[in-house]
Structures are given as C-alpha cells and as structure tokens.
Structure 1
Amino acid sequence: MPQNRNMFMQDENPQFTELSIGDQLDDASIIDSIVNAPRPHPSTARIHTVPSLVKETEDYEKYFVPNQVSIGPKYFGHPKLKLVEKLKPSFTMKLLLDDKEVLERLFKKLGQAEMVKELRNFYEERLTDQFCDKEFTKMMVLDGCFILYYIQFIFGEKFEKCRGLNSYQIAFVHQDLFLLENQIPFKVLDEVMSLMNKTADWHKKIKLFIDENILVRRRPKTRCFCFGNDQSSREEKRDNGNIYPDHLLHLLHQSLTKKPNVPKVNSNQTISNRYTFRNASELKDVGIIFKPSGMMTLAHIGFQCWWFFAATVKLPPITVDDSTKPLLLNLIAYEMCSPDAAHDSWVTSYICLLDSLIDHPDDVKALRTAGVLENSLGSDQEVAELFNEIGTDLVPNYLAYLDAKNSIQEHYEDWRGTVISQLKHEYVKSPWAFFALLGAIMALFLSGVQVYYTVWGPKSQCDELCQLLKNNHHL
C-alpha cells in the first residue's frame, strides 16, 4: 500500500519529482565542489588586525587607530601621522649616535631575503604586498629605532634631549605604541639592540617601560626578561613561563597574565556558571573584605575565609586613568584574535569579574578604599561607567578564577552572611538603631547579672539577720 501511494504521488505531480531530483543533484555538486576544493593554508600571522565585530563599534577609531605615530604597514602614509613620520630619520640617527656603519649593517641584516620573508609573515595576508622589500625594510628599521628612541630619550631619563614633540603628542605616542594594529615584530627591536651592544641594558629599559604600563599600582622586584636572537630561542619557554614575544603588546600581555604556581582545576570539581552575588557592596555586606593581592598578575585572585563570619578576596590592584580604556580594549582585542592568548583570555576574564563587582559608584569606592583600585580618572561614577562599557558583550573563560568564585558564592549563600547582612542593613547603617540595639544589649546583660547574683550569689550577714528576725518574731 505505501508503494502504490508513492506511485500515485509521482504520477499526480511529475514536475515536483523532477525538480526535487534536480535540486538534489545541484546541492550534491555544490557540496562536492567545496569538499574537493584546495584548502587554504592556515594563517601564521602574529600581528593581527582588529576583529570586524570590534570595528563596528562607535568608538573604534578613538581607541584602535593611532593618533600620532604609525608603526608597521597598517597605517603607513596616513595623512595625520606625517609629522612624526618626518621625525623618524633624525631619531634613528640620534639613537645610533650618527654611526652610519651601524645603520648600514642594520639595513643589510633586516634586508636579507629570508629575514624579509619572516618579518612579512608576522602580518596578515596582503597587508604588506604594497611594499617592495627595500621599502618594507626601511619601514622596519625606522619604526624599530623610533620605538627604542622613545623608550630611552622620551620615556627614559634623557627626556631633555627630545626635540620635535610636545607633551600632548608624547602622551598619544605612548598610547599608539600599544595598539593592536600598530605593531612591528619584536625581532626587529632585538636586531637593533644587538647591533648597538649592551643588549641586557636595553632589555632592562624595555622591562621598565612595560612595567609602567602594566596597570597594577605596586610591583614586586622580578628578574628582567631575557630574549635570544636565534630562531630556537624564540620558541623555548623561559624560566618565568613566558615565550619570546611577538611584539610590544604581546610582551605587555605576558607581563599582565603570567601564571602563578597555583593548583590546577580538579577534573571532578563542579563547574557552575550560576553566581548570584551582584557587586562589591553586596559582598561587603555579607562580611567579605577586599584586599590588594601580592601577586601582580591578572591570572590569579585569592579567597581566604577567616574568623567565623568574615572572608577576604585578594585582587590584583589596578590603576585607572585616561590610558586605561584604550589599553584594555586593545589587550582584549588581542585575546580575541590570538590563538595563544584566547586559550586563557585573562584580561577579558578579569574585566568581566570587575564588571560583575562594579555596578554603582559605591562599588568603586569600596574597591578604592580597600586599595584594589586607584582612581586617577575622575569621579567614581566615571570609573563605574568605564568598566560597565568595556564589559558589555565580553565572554570570559569559564574556568578563570573558578575556585575563588565558587568560594565567594558559598560564603554569599551561607546563613552567617545573611545574618551579617541583615544586622548591617537594620542597625549598623542607621546610627540611632545601632545605639538602641547597643542599649538593649547592655540592659539585657545587666539584667542577666542581676538574676545570677540573686539566685546563685553568696549569702551575706544581712541575710542571716533577716532570717533570725523572721524566725523569732514570726514576721
């Protein structure tokens, strides 16, 4: 019977069947063409462009496009960047102490065919096609020398030797050096430093320069970064767990997110995305105290329960000023497009954590009073809006800070936290209610003392006299 029904349908509407078969053949040919098509080579770029999703935002040019200086091929030749571009040759000669021989060796080293190919591969496909090898090498030399000149003569102790830039321009140059699309391979800086000798001293200067942009207010004394020049050394991990950096922004990201020696997540541990605590003020009400962490890394926050009602959350301290937002946005964009950083995405996760802790100016005040946040931007309202804006639509690593967040949630849901919160809201935050509560407690205590001495107090001579009078006079 089903067979007859199918035949009837075919006879009734033969066109429908033919179209269906034709469509199926077309679909199959499309699928076959895709399957059999040659696969594109995976991108080896290490200097990425800003993701298209970010480019659609309203303030894209304000936070991702350089204001004063072009570094690398992306914004080379931009009209508004010509002033600093004209200063690069003179800065290069000052950095090299007018030594033309060193300059020739530098051009020869960076101009080798294999070196040019390696440096071009740092950028995304077709980004450097407009430059011939000589133009590309010249750009690398001038930009590398400009960065080192800025670090030594403008940022460093020899500021008075700088000519041609005012303080306004210098501030934006500083910001431009950490833009995602405004980078050159760190290998270029290494080659310049090696030809100038005293490479170790230069690494110390770069380390200080990175530390000044690391966002945290207090920094422990650490060993400086040491980078090798050969290919194998760039692939090896260093003692501090960092690999050879791709560029300055990558180096900054490494410094911010270096992993401490903390226990790994247990495979049997419960992973939950249900966290009902809302902000720092609410956590403070249930007895959680915030303190700055001694570990200057965004990859770790600490939780410690002490006494019976209280607990401590240790967060890496962060300084918020005018440069914080563009720096954070470029670090987050770097994590979005870099496969290495995206694995952990600590900057994104930390900003999401702060966004969850900060809803109102009172939350900023709580973190600022605790020493976790230093406000050099303006009002607490501005800081709250900054983190709320940056944290919008961000997706953190769900494993980030798992232990600490679970501990915070457990403490938040504990009955002891509820009792503390109710006492604070009903009595501590109201002075007259607090004094009334204190008076009631004192009255209750004194009444208890009186009852105790009445019932269990030692007998005095007066008590014996009264008893004698009662017995003899029938009182």
Structure 2
Amino acid sequence: MTTVYISSLYEHHNCEIAYNPLITNTKPPNLNMQVQDQTQCSFEVTSDSILDSIYESVSDGTSSRPPSSLTAPRIPRLPVAVMEKPDYEKYYVPIFVPIGPYHFGEPKLQFVEKRKPAIAMKLFSNNKEAIKKLFEKLGEPEMVKELKSFYEESSTTEYCDKVFTKMMLLNGCFILYVINFFCGGLVEDYSELNSNEIDLVRRDLYLLENQIPFKVLKEVLRFWRIDLLEYIKRFIDLSSFVIRKRPKRKWLDNLTEIFSTNEGIGDEDEDDEEPSHLLGALHGKHSRIVKAPRRTSGPFGFKGHNFRNVNELVDVGIGFKPIKDTLSMAHIEYVKGWWGFSATVKLPPIAVSKLTRPMLLNMIAYECYCSIDDIPWVSCYVQLLATLIDHPEDVKVLRKAWVLDNYLASDQEVVKLFDEIGSDLARGSSLYLEAMYNIQRHYESRRNTLLSQLKNEYFKSPWAFFALIGALIVLFLAGVQTYFTVWNPKSTCDDLCMFLKMNHHL
C-alpha cells in the first residue's frame, strides 16, 4: 500500500486527483433537527427522570463547559455561531488552496490540489528516495496519532493513515515552497505558482481552519538541515501587517533619544518556544511582550475615557508616533512632552491592505479558541484602533504620523474595517490601562482645554493667525502710548521750552 501512495507523488506530470466523496469533510450536524428533538415532550417523561438527568450530569463529570485550551485541539474548527455568520466563507474559508483535513477534497479547491505532487517533487529536486523516507517518517503510527490529535477527531477518522500522511506531506511541501518564494534558500523554480496566485495563497495560509502542525514542516526541512524557526521568522516578518518602518527623523528626535531614559522601547523578548502552526507563529510574533515602561503613577479609580477619536486628542496637544523595530501589539506608550503642554502616544505601526481583515479575524479567533495566553493582545489593539479611528480625518492623521499605511481604496475603507471588526469585540482597553489613564488626564486638563480652544480659533487658518498677531501688536502700541501719556516724566527739553516761551513770547 505504501508504494501506491508514494508512486502517486512521482507522477507529477499527470497528477489528476479524482474527487472521492468518501474523503470529503462532513457537514456540520443539522441543528434544527436537534432542537426539534429536544423541544418535543413525551407524555411518558416524568419530573423524576428530568431531575435524575441533572443529578447524573454532576455525578459522571459531564459538563456543557467548553474544553480548556490545554485539552481542546490545537487546530479546531470554528464554532457554529461563527460558521453561520454571512462573512464566514469570505474570511475564514480558503478560496485557493486547502491545507489540512477540514477543507480537503472540496471540488472548488481541486485546481491547486492537483499541483501539489509536482510542487513536492520540485522541492526535493525529483529525489524519490527522500520523498519515500519523508513519507515513512510521517507515516509512523505514533507520528500519525500525534498529528491527528491537532484536529477535531471527527474530521480525521474518515481518512486512513496513508491518506492522512500523504495529505500532511503534500501540504508541508507546498507551504515551504511558498515560503521559499519569498525567502529563498531551497529551490529556484517557481513555475508552479505565479505572482497573482501568491496573494491568494498567503491569505489562505493564515486561516485558522487551514493549518498543519509545525512538526510536519520541521520534518520536511530536515532534508535541507535548516533551522525551521529562523526560516519561518523571515516569512512572518514579510507577512506581518505590523511593519518595521523608520520614519524620516528630525535632528530634534535624534537628540531626544540620546538623552532619553525611557526604558519602554526595547528589543523583543525573544522566545524560542515552538508554535503549534503557522497562524500561531504569526500571532506569537504580534503578541510578544517587549520591556514594559516603568510605572510612574497608578490609574486607581480610573473609570474610562470620554474622548472619541484621534482628532480630539490632537486638539489638546497629543501627537502620535510609531514604535520602531517591533512587531508586537502588546505595547503602547504615553510620553509627556516639555512643560506638560503636549504629549505623544506611541503605537505599533500597521499596514492595512486587503489581506489585513482575514488575518486579523483569524488571529482573534486563535486567541479565543486556541491561545493559552490569558491576554488577547491582538483583540485589544484592534479595539483600541477602532476607538481612535472614527472618521477618515483620523486615518489621515495616523498616516501622516507613520502609524498607519493605507493600501485600500480610501481612508473611509479603513474606518469601516476597524468599525466592523471592533463592534464584535468586548471592551479591552483596560489592558492598556496606564496609557489610557494618562491620555484621559491630559485630555481633561483645563489648561490643555484652553490651549485647544485658542488653537482651534486662531491657528487653523493663516488669516485668523495674522489677524491675531496684528491685534496683539495694536494692543501693545496702544498700551505704550497710554503709559507715556499718563506717566510721562518731565525732561530738560520741557524746561527749556517753557523758559523761551516766557521770555521771548513764543
């Protein structure tokens, strides 16, 4: 049997895969039928039997509580509540390439599925012996059992071990072929995928239901003796929507950094812990905690904020800057300016493109159903941006500050994106409690409010500014004239004029 499955990989020039209805995904159960069965009440049901069913649920340990992240599959299917959303197919389901068992065998995805054997052979330079060893390694009973444990049991029981092993091998080779397209180092032949298809592939590789265990990628890379984590890190950096952009710097910024004692900006706390899959690696990179700023004042009694958007903060002297050299969303910073009249909020810079929404939604789903981290940093950062961005003018301010790059059609599209994603999230600004507390204090300051009113009244229009300067000059000259009129001291010239007037009848 092993020879049959391996030979199918070699025949990559004629690799038509027949659609087999026996190895397709099972559809979710019909919830309407379940509800109907539960609502129908028989006359034979007694109160005692109902109560006994409640008592037995306690005695046998059964519970309706969902399993913890330690016992749940590390690559789960999304709940039915998410599947019933109108945008489920658009943002959670692969549209180009299936990875793993959940969407394997779907007819609309067979176009790329047929090319996977050819891609695997090109990745191994037609080395049949290497393919055979890899297949045997991934097909070991303990290995198959471990890999299947990453998925929900009902999704893998329909595949025999040989079919499942072939699926893992082809998907692992395909993912590394795509990564090699961006990072290089393995092969130079990319003829199986064109540049237009790559964007679709990148989108599909970061869907929660479209993952394979990292262990598969590690076994495939053993052929090249390349460190998997280092190789993947380069691809994650290229795929990230948080960007490492250094804006044009002024000489004052350089001088400020030289004398700055702030410890808030630092290198990422690198952690070599292996993630479960590619989406987990992307999430770990974005939620990695950098060195926290030193706490200066406690936000005790802080009840929330009442500012609405970026422009309201700009009006009271709060500016925005990007945090440099980090991909983490777990860190924002509030920096007070000179004399307390101004302040700066530093945020991780983000690039918004057509790939941003599905990646954000699937990272948020990963936080909800997979991550063992108690703090949903990505969800909180998205909600923070949804709070700050209320109008296209807010997007414009963040673009000018290098905090946001917009690759969508308009700034209004960015507003719509964060508004729609943020509306489904629970309030999480408390995770940035100290920064939000300091921003609110600055926003409520009476002094800053007066300066804001002066700025809005006279500094937004050049003509109003010149009129203000002219009025101040007139007031100054009028004051000088009044002073010399009232308190003008006598001089020797005045005495001389009086003498000449009296003696010469001037």
Give me the TM-score of the superposition, normalised by structure 2: 0.78
Aligned to 1:424: 455
State how far apart, in whole Å, the 2-side matches of 1:407 and 1:114 are.
54
1:340 and 2:372 matched: yes
Task: Return closer, same or farther for 1:471/1:244 CA change in 2, 3 Å cut-off.
Answer: farther
Letter in structure 2 aligned against 1:133: D
Distance 1:192 1:463, change over 3 A: farther
Amino acid at match of 1:247: H
> 1:80: how far off?
1.1
The match for 1:209 is 235
Query: Cα offset for 1:333?
Result: 1.2
Structure 1 counterpart SS, 2:320: strand
Q: Which residue of 2 aligns with 1:114?
A: 142
Distance 1:192 1:58 in 2: 37
Residue-by-residue CA offset, 1:227-259 (whole Å, 9 max, x unaligned): xxxxxxxxxxx9613521100011011111110
Which one of 180, 194, 202 corresponds to residue 166 of structure 1? 194
Q: Deviations over 1:173-211 (max 9, x none)?
A: 1110111100000111011112332x13x5444222110
Map residues 146-185 of structure 1 onto 2, 5 A cutoff. 146-153=174-181, 156=184, 161-185=189-213
Q: Is the 8 A contact 1:151 1:209 kept in 2?
A: yes
Residues of 1 paired with 2:128 and 2:86: CA distance? Answer: 46
* 2:383 aligned with 1:357: no
Per the TM alignment, residue 217 of structure 1 is displaced from its structure 2 partner at its CA by 2.6
| Amino acid in structure 2 at the alignment position of 1:319 | A
State whether residues 348 and 394 of structure 1, in contact with CA within 8 Å, keep that contact through their aligned partners in structure 2.
yes
**1:33 aligned partner:** 56
Change (3 A) 1:396 1:65: same
Q: 1:444 to 1:194 in 2, by over 3 A?
A: same
CA offset at residue 458 of structure 1? 8.3
Indicate if the aligned counterparts of 2:299 and 2:437 stay in contact, CA closer than 8 A: no
Residues 75 and 182 in structure 1, CA contact (< 8 A), matched pair in contact too: yes
Which sections of structure 2, spanning at least 5 residues, go unmatched? 1-45, 247-267
Alpha carbons of structure 1 residues 436 and 73: separation in structure 2 relative to 1, 3 Å: same
AA aligned opposite 1:120: K
Q: Deviations over 1:41-82 (max 9, x none)?
A: 863411122233332322111111101101000100011111
Matches within 5 A, 1:267-416: 269-270=299-300, 272-296=302-326, 297-308=328-339, 309-341=341-373, 343-416=374-447
Letter aligned with residue 129 of structure 1: T
Q: Describe the shift of the 1:247–1:339 C-alpha distance in structure 2 as closer, same or farther (beyond 3 A).
A: closer
Q: Secondary structure at the match of 2:372?
A: helix
Aligned to 2:159: 131
1: CA distance, partners of 2:197 / 2:182: 11
Structure-2 separation of matches of 1:264 and 1:113: 52
Q: Deviations over 1:245-274 (max 9, x none)?
A: 100011011111110111588997426452
Partner of 2:120: 92
Query: C-alpha distance in 1, partners of 2:464/2:186?
Result: 61
CA distance in 2, matches of 1:463, 1:204: 91
Answer with 414-423 or 239-248: which moved more. Answer: 239-248
- Displacement of 1:146 after TM fit? 0.6
What is the CA-CA distance between 1:401 and the residue it aligns to?
1.2
Q: Which amino acid aligns with 1:462?
A: C
Letter in 1 for 2:369: C
Mean Cα deviation higher: 364-373 or 106-115: 106-115
Shift of 1:286: 0.7
CA distance in 2, matches of 1:45, 1:470: 112
Report if the CA contact (8 A) 1:51-1:337 is conserved: no
Q: Which amino acid is 1:217 matched to?
A: I
When residues 305 and 456 of structure 1 are mapped into structure 2, their CA distance, relative to the original with a 3 A threshold, is farther
1:336 CA drift (Å):
1.5
Task: Answer yes or no: is the 8 Å Cα contact 2:244–2:325 preserved in 1.
Answer: no
The one of 68, 73, 96 equivalent to 1:45 is: 73
Q: Is the 8 A contact 1:51 1:333 kept in 2?
A: no
Instruction: Tell me if structure 1 keeps the 8 A contact 2:240–2:282.
Output: yes
Within-5 A mapping of 1:72-91: 72-91=100-119
CA contact (8 A) 1:354 1:387 kept: yes
Greater shift after overlay, 90-99 or 332-341?
332-341
Contact in 1 for aligned 2:245/2:349 (Cα 8 Å): no
Q: CA deviation at 1:424?
A: 2.6
Q: Structure 1 stretches of 5 or more lacking a match?
A: 1-21, 221-237
Q: Aligned partners of 2:271 and 2:294: how far apart in 1?
A: 16
Figure out how many residues of one structure are paired with residues of the other and give that number: 433
Match of 1:231 in 2: none
The residue that corresponds to 2:84 in the other structure is 56
| Residue of 449, 461, 468 corresponding to 1:437 | 468
Equivalents in 2 of 1:263, 1:287: separation in Å? 22
Per the alignment, do residues 69 and 411 of structure 1 end up closer, same or farther by CA in structure 2, a change over 3 Å counting? same
Letter aligned with residue 182 of structure 1: N
Which residue in the other structure is 1:187 paired with?
A: 215
Q: Distance in 2 between matches of 1:454 and 1:304?
A: 50
Distance 2:273 2:113 in 1: 31
Sequence identity of aligned pairs in percent? Answer: 51
TM-score (norm 1): 0.83
Partner of 1:230: none
Residue 96 of structure 1 contacts residue 196 of structure 1 at CA under 8 Å; is this kept in 2? no
What letter is aligned with 1:330?
A: N
